[in-house]
Structure 1
Amino acid sequence: MGSGRSRNPQAEAEALIRRAAEAHAASIPELAEAIVARLRATVPEFFADDDVAYDMAAAIDANVARVQALLAAAPAGARAEALPLEASDLLQSTIQHGIPLISLLEAYRSAQGLAVEWWQGHLDRTAGPRLLGLAATTLNRLIVAYIDAAATQIRASYEAERQAHESSAEGRRAHLIRKLLAGEAIDPVAAARTLNHPLDVRHVAVVLWRTDADGPDDLLHRVLDDLAAAVGPGVRTLTTAARHRVYAWLSASRPLDIRRLERTAVPSGVRVAASGAHGGVDGFVRAHADALHVAAIAREHRTVDRAIAVYDDIELVSLLSRDPDARDRFVRRVLGALAEDAPGAERTRETLGAYLAAGSSPSRAARRLGVHRNTVTYRLAGLPIATDATDDVRRLETELALRIVAQLGAPAPLH
């Protein structure tokens, strides 16, 4: 007669899941990054706007953490819970940007599939053959139950939230602006009347966002008022606010001085991206696209550290930024070792840039840098562009590569 404890395979499988969840809690950011990468391919509409992309990433982080906690408490964690706050924020952004419910549900199901694969991979490496099948089935059931509960809550909230948003004055205005930006056939005169904003004039689009939570709730709108005042009298302002940003157009029938905009004092913790000036309805659309592109570059590359980034200043670099891999290959080809993210390379790049800007004169470059002429000569010794400045193509490529690194930072190292 056996005297040992009787085995309970289900309890053992749940214990395996709990141990896996606890052992790999620190690595769940990797899962979140993988889900973001997958969703960029499967539901790209959530990444066309940085504001929605931000909320999507935050919701993924929160849901991944919630699932990890659920697995660590298996089977008690299978109970339905309210959506994480970040998931509710994503629902609001989805509605505000006119993204259909089916896309949001598809995002959750796509994330579900990858989460099951990821956790299953950890079980495969730790569970023995006797319990692997049961543990995998239990794992799948827990994750699917969580996503089912989330989908049920999303369906219940989406339509009511959407109707409330679209019936508000801000919602109707945002809907009309989205249609304009999407290029839909709209009577511009009627649209201008509905928006109470002229469209047949010149426009500068701006995007404002905060990098910290300090300051009053209306801080971005205060900064926008300062920007409008800086551009000059007679400027009309149209705004549409998202959850984390303010999108606006500064419009006037006269030329708009972008340089006055750049000189505006902006509080710490606030960033501004601005387009150039463009005319008419097409200009309204183009200005917004340019401002969004500048904002994306400013958020991705910390070296774009000015509080106000203007499209005209980074237009050339921004064009190359649309293909980051090609841009980085170009920089590495032209600069070689100078493309590295190292203090010595950075100093040499600065010296080379001053040398080229000074018409290949070591003396004038030294005055620009505040160093001795011999220092410039020493730093540039052995660089082909410094010994043969007559090659116009090489010179142009070098100046462009230096400008890219100065504004966007050195390319990531090759592995």
Structure 2
Amino acid sequence: MEHDWVRALSPSETAQPLTSLATRRRALRAIGEGATAWGVAAGHRMAAYILDTLTDWPGDRSDEEREALERATEASTLDTLTALVTQDVTLLQTSSEPSQNVAFYVAEGIPLEEVVRNVHSGQEFLIQELIERIGALVPAEHRLATIQSATRLVIQSWSAFISEITRLYEDEARRRRESTEGARTQAVRRILGGTRRAPDDADQDLGHRLEQTHVGLILWLEGLDIETARLFDFAGVAASLAAQAHAGPEPLVIRRGATRVDVWLGSPRADVVAVADTKVPLPPPLRAAVGRPGVGVDGFRATHEQAVAARRVARLGASGSQVVDYADVELVSLLAADPQRARGFAHSVLGPLHRAEPRMDELRRTLAVHIDSDRSIAQTAQLLHAHRNTISYRLSRATELLPPGHTTTELRCALLLADMFPGAG
């Protein structure tokens, strides 16, 4: 049966595509622009459905894990729509993109049965979505036959897909068991999870001494096509940072998906943030988050956790810098542990001052400097290079706009959040 109704699909919402250009171009040729956009949005809804349904999912639901899942569900949806139009039931099992997600799950230690359960949940979601769209797009007299045909093709395609994923998972798990990369990833997972073995064993697995000073970094790519990201030389950048920071003998680099690596520099003698800022030019798509130096096993964990927190702040839109120092964003990372509540707090404290407008930006800046200057108008005027009367007028205007009843500490924290999350105050 023909499934030309697929080409009539159109999105009711938009989503930022994560799949490769190759996957999207293949879909565009077969099903058109509207259906491709629908498939991207449906893929993101599928990922949310899987995470909501599999409440006992063993992963950590990190940014990388969510992005990997969204990339896989998006690609699987587009490939399924393409298969419906072309009648090619082998498309999913031969498509490289969803299956490449398997390597991520193996590296993260997620069991095969959980990966398969994930796929079954996605298949269930997609069949229901397609039945709903058939009900809206196909004439009543053809709906039952269309639903039966589409469901049969989806089940056939996804069954072959699951078989291929099972094979790939077993092959990847065997490869990692026999590789240095796999041993290092497992050792890092044990250390970060607090189940480290004896020091000598851990050091041997890592190729990195634990009883030294560590600086943790997260290196990641923003806005780069996934196929290009997979070719990026993260290790080369990490080695350059280590050399310029006079760390040695070589950095510990753990790959976390296609667009991120976790890095530890051992006993650097130079300021790693300054090195990343000035001595090792980072290409525009690459960003770095840097933790504080930490000593020993506890320091190994702490500096990594700080780098993760700094990256989270950066990705929430709280820092436009290419290199993010945890020391610079520590307070906002704590305040914004729950971003939605943090934004609500800032909004309630600042009232109209929260708006992302040049005039409100100026009033917030003046108020923040005034608080930091022990409420000295003269010092505020000097720091802002403005006349004292101008500062007095701005402060008077800000006071008129502020809701009553908040302490100076609450006000300063809200101003910080508004500064770090533009437009979210």
1:28–1:395 CA distance, 2 compared to 1 (3 A): same
User: Which of these residues, 239, 244, 248, is aligned with residue 225 of structure 1?
Assistant: 239
Q: Quick check: 1:326 aligned with 2:341?
A: yes
Q: Distance in 1 between matches of 2:95 and 2:363?
A: 49
1:111–1:324 CA distance, 2 compared to 1 (3 A): same
Deviation track 1:137-163 (CA, whole Å, cap 9, x = no partner) reads 222222222211211111122111211
Deviation track 1:11-32 (CA, whole Å, cap 9, x = no partner) reads 6xx4545645866443333212
Return the letter of the residue paired with 1:168.
S
Deviation at 1:200, TM superposition (A): 2.3
The total of aligned residue pairs comes to: 395
Q: Given that residues 18 and 71 in structure 1 are in contact (C-alpha distance below 8 angstroms), is that contact kept between their aligned partners in structure 2?
A: no
Task: Indicate the RMSD between aligned Cα atoms, in angstroms.
Answer: 3.3
1:370–1:128 CA distance, 2 compared to 1 (3 A): same
Q: Given that residues 275 and 310 in structure 1 are in contact (C-alpha distance below 8 angstroms), is that contact kept between their aligned partners in structure 2?
A: yes
Deviation track 1:34-68 (CA, whole Å, cap 9, x = no partner) reads 12222333275556343343332222222221122
Match of 2:301 in 1: 285
SS of the aligned residue for 2:210 comes to: coil
Q: Distance in 1 between matches of 2:220 and 2:36?
A: 32
Single out whichever of 308-317 and 360-369 deviates more from structure 2.
360-369
Q: Given that residues 274 and 291 in structure 1 are in contact (C-alpha distance below 8 angstroms), is that contact kept between their aligned partners in structure 2?
A: yes
Match of 1:6 in 2: none
Deviation track 1:336-388 (CA, whole Å, cap 9, x = no partner) reads 12222333322322222222223323343333233333333333333338999
Matches within 5 A, 1:66-85: 66-73=79-86, 76-85=87-96
Return the letter of the residue paired with 2:347.
R
SS of the aligned residue for 1:198 comes to: coil
Match of 2:290 in 1: 274
State which structure, 1 or 2, has the greater radius of gyration over its C-alpha atoms.
Answer: 1
1:68–1:247 CA distance, 2 compared to 1 (3 A): same
Matches within 5 A, 1:224-263: 224-232=238-246, 237-242=251-256, 243-252=258-267, 260=274, 263=277
Deviation at 1:304, TM superposition (A): 0.9
User: Which of these residues, 310, 315, 319, is aligned with residue 294 of structure 1?
Assistant: 310
Deviation track 1:144-194 (CA, whole Å, cap 9, x = no partner) reads 222112111111221112111220122222222222222225112321133
Match of 1:345 in 2: 360
Deviation track 1:60-87 (CA, whole Å, cap 9, x = no partner) reads 22222112222334xx244545443321
1:78–1:228 CA distance, 2 compared to 1 (3 A): closer
Q: Given that residues 40 and 47 in structure 1 are in contact (C-alpha distance below 8 angstroms), is that contact kept between their aligned partners in structure 2?
A: no
Deviation track 1:74-125 (CA, whole Å, cap 9, x = no partner) reads xx24454544332132112122222221222122222212222222222222
Q: Distance in 2 between matches of 1:378 and 1:140?
A: 68
1:300–1:144 CA distance, 2 compared to 1 (3 A): farther
Q: Percent identity?
A: 24
SS of the aligned residue for 1:289 comes to: helix
1:220–1:371 CA distance, 2 compared to 1 (3 A): farther
Match of 1:147 in 2: 158
User: Which of these residues, 384, 409, 415, is aligned with residue 402 of structure 1?
Assistant: 415
Return the letter of the residue paired with 2:368.
G
Return the letter of the residue paired with 1:237.
P
Match of 1:87 in 2: 98
SS of the aligned residue for 1:306 comes to: coil
Deviation at 1:232, TM superposition (A): 4.5
Match of 1:314 in 2: 329
Q: Distance in 2 between matches of 1:37 and 1:231?
A: 41
Deviation track 1:294-315 (CA, whole Å, cap 9, x = no partner) reads 22322232x4122221222212
Q: Given that residues 254 and 261 in structure 2 are in contact (C-alpha distance below 8 angstroms), is that contact kept between their aligned partners in structure 1?
A: yes
Single out whichever of 356-365 and 15-24 deviates more from structure 2.
15-24
Q: Distance in 2 between matches of 1:335 and 1:299?
A: 23
Single out whichever of 17-26 and 328-337 deviates more from structure 2.
17-26
Deviation track 1:244-278 (CA, whole Å, cap 9, x = no partner) reads 322121233x9985664565443232211111222
Q: Given that residues 304 and 407 in structure 1 are in contact (C-alpha distance below 8 angstroms), is that contact kept between their aligned partners in structure 2?
A: yes
Q: Distance in 2 between matches of 1:381 and 1:394?
A: 17
SS of the aligned residue for 2:386 comes to: coil
Match of 1:186 in 2: 197
1:39–1:350 CA distance, 2 compared to 1 (3 A): farther
User: Which of these residues, 317, 320, 325, is aligned with residue 305 of structure 1?
Assistant: 320
1:83–1:288 CA distance, 2 compared to 1 (3 A): farther
Return the letter of the residue paired with 2:398.
L
Deviation at 1:216, TM superposition (A): 12
Q: Given that residues 226 and 264 in structure 1 are in contact (C-alpha distance below 8 angstroms), is that contact kept between their aligned partners in structure 2?
A: no
Match of 2:41 in 1: 30
SS of the aligned residue for 2:397 comes to: coil
1:259–1:175 CA distance, 2 compared to 1 (3 A): closer
Return the letter of the residue paired with 1:298.
A
Q: Given that residues 69 and 101 in structure 2 are in contact (C-alpha distance below 8 angstroms), is that contact kept between their aligned partners in structure 1?
A: yes
Q: Given that residues 166 and 175 in structure 1 are in contact (C-alpha distance below 8 angstroms), is that contact kept between their aligned partners in structure 2?
A: no
SS of the aligned residue for 1:206 comes to: strand
Match of 1:382 in 2: 397
TM-score by length of 1: 0.83
Return the letter of the residue paired with 1:178.
R
Single out whichever of 238-247 and 321-330 deviates more from structure 2.
238-247
Return the letter of the residue paired with 2:408.
R
Q: Given that residues 380 and 386 in structure 1 are in contact (C-alpha distance below 8 angstroms), is that contact kept between their aligned partners in structure 2?
A: no
Single out whichever of 395-404 and 47-56 deviates more from structure 2.
47-56
SS of the aligned residue for 1:272 comes to: strand
Match of 1:136 in 2: 147
Q: Distance in 2 between matches of 1:60 and 1:218?
A: 24
TM-score by length of 2: 0.81
Structure 2: 5+ residue runs without aligned partners? 11-30
SS of the aligned residue for 1:273 comes to: strand
